Structure 1
């Protein structure tokens, strides 16, 4: 045939007159003078069942659209060159035999089936075994699985130097070695697993990008001196390389809904980008070599396991445990070959690590929330340790910090089984979020936050007294609470006879809070001149702190425990009681809890000085105040204590 692909008369059999076509491009390379070229869309009235480029044949596609209803194969030393256009293949695309090649410089390839590097169709003959080459230099190539097949004993070299190969499935070995080179702006996007377990597999990257949504399983060799490898799955992924672990140049973890688990250790030689998702060590390690960096670590992305750092630069280990992130830092070692290891543990160090709770030096207490293990694996450098704390956010739940000067780096010594004060060379931040750094240390083991004073269980901001009518309003506020169970409010008139007038539970969840909380109580003024009030704060373990008395002076006219009013029965058991009061006018009533809450009352006048009262709200047992007012003048006439049983 001549080189005009779309002219029916140039074909040995007219494509427009046959019901389905299997097109073979066959010619010896020494006599080839009219290789077919596709430069526009064929107008065949019948579809093309398949295309086979064989025995030194050459097919070039520059533009147009060609649709193949079955398979497209390059075998027996054939060559396919694509510079543009669109090639749609309903079946598989395959290549095998020594000298066969495919080059994709431009255009788009859409394969509904798989891209098979090997003999996929037994009806096609098998030629001489050897090397095949597939080069993607600028095209967009879409396929199902990318399969390296060993049916013919060939070896296949896939080179992606531009454009991209995008799979809807795995890149895998079916027994043949996987050989992939990515360079320039080339992209390999795998919507599935990368399985290089066929033997002498090789992945080489000098630039470009590899995206993976599934698992990385490699028993071969990787030579990664550039480019980006990104784990972008939406479910859990894993990394495996049984030949001593995997080495990455640039690795990005960006898994929006899962984590990346290590079945073997990994090494980072340039950059680890922790964008989203955790790295779960499973007993394996992440090693960051000299001059390599870690960026973007946060509560959304960190390493749950061992991290090793080689080099002589200061480093913050992106450590976390489970749902908790808390990094630890070291100052710069003196040698580029020194190696340090760090891991974070969430929980009480004594119970979690089985460490004895003995304290020496100035440390009087340590964090019961977390600890870090730091070891010097190689070298002799002394380094400063920087611990992070955050009582609110990303690091989640470090022990409360009351004063930065109180902070210490505490180290556990396996020899004497005691926690040592390693000092406070500097701090940053505030009592909610910050760091504490030790002087340079030469001994390493578990570390945690230490403190040289005991905290106040409750920080009392204010304690105010005021008279409102015939009621004493007691108000107080706390700025923080630790292990607080309740308050006891006491009163005395003479400084000798002290009575408990109420027990008020802590409003802090679990008795712990770093935010301000307000409390209030209302007492009946049934005294004249002056009364004294004070608080006793009680911890969950029964430890208490007693605050000083404060005085409230009142006018004798405010003492309204009137003798001309009587409530009965008192205590009240069913919410109904009677009031007798020596007053002829119409009355209003207010029924108030000791915390100041007003409850509804229903009043029925039984006589000129007698009322029937019913509590309309459901109320708890306790003491309440019944305030009685003249309706016309609004004057308060009396206040009576009512006990509800």
Structure 2
């Protein structure tokens, strides 16, 4: 009987303790018993119910309850205190009503939150305790003022904000999220909008942040990500969309290191800078960043994304595929500073300058499955002692280069089996320091009549394709290895300068000079190691020290227009020269001869075979020539004039600024039936107009000098050439000369030639301060005034490369690019 009585008393006592406490006090203090029904202040085992729009309890200190239910538009004044709900806190409104329930000015801790259509002001929500069930914030919930949401659940259970498809969560003030080994999901299916700054803190490395899984997140200000323990952040991984509007960006205010950040379907509409951030891995897919971006990671993986401005990425492992960089201006820099391989699928576009710093070993492949397009300059700093840097890593794929290419570092690089196409407009350069040889499989010259100047040696293993534009090798060696081939060749596209072929292949050297294509062919050498050098000179052989007047047996007259040089190898060769309009007139190919300078005179090497017509064709030596030291060859005639006149007589043609005018000067060695010269001028180097005509001497065997001044030159870049016309109406063109004329302003400057191999002539305002700086910003030369407004700067003591001419005029300081060549 006593046991039964005791059990009943205990049961009655438990029921009394665990019963509900319902607020009936209107607006009043929490700790007043009369405000509750039954009339006692809630204890930690009670379920508290607050309902109705007139219910506004106010905490008078920290409180703990078992469960909390708020509904019907009730409010709760936390009064800067803490309300702990050890089990579940349900905060909702009556169905259909929005933003009625409110809690503000304090902290609410709960084992589980179920929040729907609520409104908070200055609130901190923290999931605690051991309930392994999710917390949710859904509906049209609004957070005003400062909001802090923390998931400190143990065992771990996620905190979901905007998890339902009909949710539209809004944070009007600063929002801070703290994830301590438990997941926080934001916009799983619904939408979440942040109107102020947002902070995502990783306190424990376990579990993840998931943003915009299948929903929508909008940041209207900066989002800060912070972690010292790693941890992952996923943005848009399963199809959601994230937007960062101005002035927003992704940044850190206490640092982010370790972990993985995955970003998908994110668009930054402003121009604020992103980073620097330092996760272990950074993955970006189908995203757009309108501002600068910088990161320092172990691994990056970018695909189908846009990085619009200045970018700097540092990692060991890199994958970059089908991305667009710096379209809004600036440069993009990649730095390999950790172990691992760089394997880019490729198909990327770089609108600004591209820089790659290789500071640690590991293969670098930049175009495994598609070529890249470089619209600006390319700088490769290969700061390790091997050549495993493959800018063109994928066989058969073409990368396009529209600017200068510069290779720096400890060794040359092996570009790889891909193709390099030189495209776009304007002169561009290939340079390297130190002067190592760099290996390229295929070069395609397709540069819209522009010049690709080699300032460092290049070896081609596969093919040289000449479609449009000139390759200038005046300051370097262009070598084609055994079995390498050439496609194309024309006045508009050839090699201007020295060219080398190695191997046992019959070969046509696609060489020319001053815009004239003049191929030279050799028969097949006997040895795969034979190395032959060839160059064409579009000038009177007299200028090279080989007088055309010194003719050998059976030779009547020798061309005064052109000659070739060839040297090297151990095999005797049959040499084949070419002719066309540039050669000055072939009328009888049967009487045409190849002649060789033997140190005294031009000796007959015969006419072994000829092809073509009098307008254009080829002629071969009648036997093999012994190779070794350089030999000089040109065309000659065995019969007297007028057969095969070969009449060109121009020695030099120059154009240079003379104050506000342009001075044009030219010299002829001889003249045959020369009626007149026409001076032609062009703005673009293509469309020329006649501006003056000067009578020729008719026939002359002595050197004659001519001069003319263009009194009204074009402002900016312009081009000049001579058109020489004979009595019979036939004509030929000189080389083209360029001049740059500035408008007459105090800070304007003119300087030429550029590239320069001797003295740089400078014209600018009186009293200017001029100096030349190297790549390290060190002054290496000072200009000396040679006259009023005229300075001279000696570069003969400088190694070739790129320098900066700095010109000071009063408070103005301008910089100009100058290239010094050998």
TM-score normalised to structure 1 length = 0.61
Residues 253 and 6 of structure 1: CA distance in aligned 2, closer, same or farther (over 3 Å):
farther
2:355 is equivalent to residue 172 of structure 1: yes
Structure 1 unaligned blocks of 5 or more: 120-129, 392-396, 460-481, 487-504, 516-645
Q: Helix, strand or coil: the match of 1:20?
A: coil
Q: Match of 2:232?
A: 57
Of 333-342 and 132-141, deviating more is 132-141
2:473 is equivalent to residue 294 of structure 1: no
- Contact 1:94/1:117 (<8 A) preserved: no
- Contact 1:22/1:49 (<8 A) preserved: yes
Which of 642, 660, 685 pairs up with 1:456? 642
Residues 339 and 138 of structure 1: CA distance in aligned 2, closer, same or farther (over 3 Å):
same
Q: Helix, strand or coil: the match of 1:161?
A: coil
Residues 485 and 196 of structure 1: CA distance in aligned 2, closer, same or farther (over 3 Å):
closer
1:605-616 pair list within 5 angstroms: none
- Contact 1:206/1:226 (<8 A) preserved: yes
Residues 433 and 266 of structure 1: CA distance in aligned 2, closer, same or farther (over 3 Å):
same
2:292 is equivalent to residue 107 of structure 1: no
Q: Match of 1:583?
A: none
- Contact 1:333/1:383 (<8 A) preserved: yes
Q: Helix, strand or coil: the match of 2:528?
A: coil
Residues 426 and 354 of structure 1: CA distance in aligned 2, closer, same or farther (over 3 Å):
closer
What is the total number of aligned residue pairs between the two structures?
Answer: 449
Q: Match of 1:638?
A: none
Q: Match of 1:552?
A: none
Give how far 1:233 is off. Answer: 3.5
Residues 371 and 70 of structure 1: CA distance in aligned 2, closer, same or farther (over 3 Å):
same
Q: Match of 2:372?
A: 188
- Contact 1:267/1:287 (<8 A) preserved: yes
Distance 2:393 2:644 in 1: 61
Residues 513 and 436 of structure 1: CA distance in aligned 2, closer, same or farther (over 3 Å):
farther
2:617 is equivalent to residue 434 of structure 1: yes
- Contact 2:322/2:348 (<8 A) preserved: no
- Contact 2:194/2:218 (<8 A) preserved: no
Q: Helix, strand or coil: the match of 2:450?
A: coil
After superposition, give the CA deviation of every residue in 1:574-599 in whole Å (9 maximum; x if it has no partner).
Answer: xxxxxxxxxxxxxxxxxxxxxxxxxx
- Contact 1:93/1:111 (<8 A) preserved: no
Q: Match of 1:228?
A: 419
Residues 84 and 70 of structure 1: CA distance in aligned 2, closer, same or farther (over 3 Å):
closer
Distance 2:488 2:159 in 1: 56
Greater relative CO (CA pairs within 8 A, separation 6+) = 1
Q: Helix, strand or coil: the match of 2:586?
A: coil
Q: Match of 2:259?
A: 78
Of 217-226 and 351-360, deviating more is 351-360
Residues 440 and 77 of structure 1: CA distance in aligned 2, closer, same or farther (over 3 Å):
farther
After superposition, give the CA deviation of every residue in 1:89-125 in whole Å (9 maximum; x if it has no partner).
Answer: 734455775x722345x52444442555579xxxxxx
2:310 is equivalent to residue 135 of structure 1: no
Which of 326, 333, 349 pairs up with 1:147? 333
Q: Match of 2:602?
A: 419
Distance 2:341 2:276 in 1: 11
2:426 is equivalent to residue 203 of structure 1: no
2:582 is equivalent to residue 407 of structure 1: no
2:217 is equivalent to residue 217 of structure 1: no
After superposition, give the CA deviation of every residue in 1:192-233 in whole Å (9 maximum; x if it has no partner).
Answer: 211223733963232144322221111234233311222223
Q: Match of 2:633?
A: 447
- Contact 1:102/1:133 (<8 A) preserved: no
Distance 1:12 1:398 in 2: 80
Q: Helix, strand or coil: the match of 2:543?
A: helix
**Aligned-residue CA RMSD (Å):** 4.0
Residues 331 and 282 of structure 1: CA distance in aligned 2, closer, same or farther (over 3 Å):
same
Residues 88 and 375 of structure 1: CA distance in aligned 2, closer, same or farther (over 3 Å):
farther
Structure 2 unaligned blocks of 5 or more: 1-150, 152-157, 164-168, 178-185, 299-313, 646-670, 676-697, 700-723, 732-822
1:7-26 pair list within 5 angstroms: 7=163, 13=177, 18-24=194-200, 26=202
Residues 251 and 313 of structure 1: CA distance in aligned 2, closer, same or farther (over 3 Å):
same
Give how far 1:412 is off. Answer: 1.1
Q: Helix, strand or coil: the match of 1:36?
A: strand
Q: Match of 2:682?
A: none
Give how far 1:382 is off. Answer: 1.6
TM-score normalised to structure 2 length = 0.49
Give how far 1:156 is off. Answer: 8.5
Give how far 1:142 is off. Answer: 5.7
2:699 is equivalent to residue 509 of structure 1: no
Of 50-59 and 277-286, deviating more is 50-59
Q: Match of 2:668?
A: none
Q: Helix, strand or coil: the match of 2:473?
A: strand
Q: Match of 1:384?
A: 574
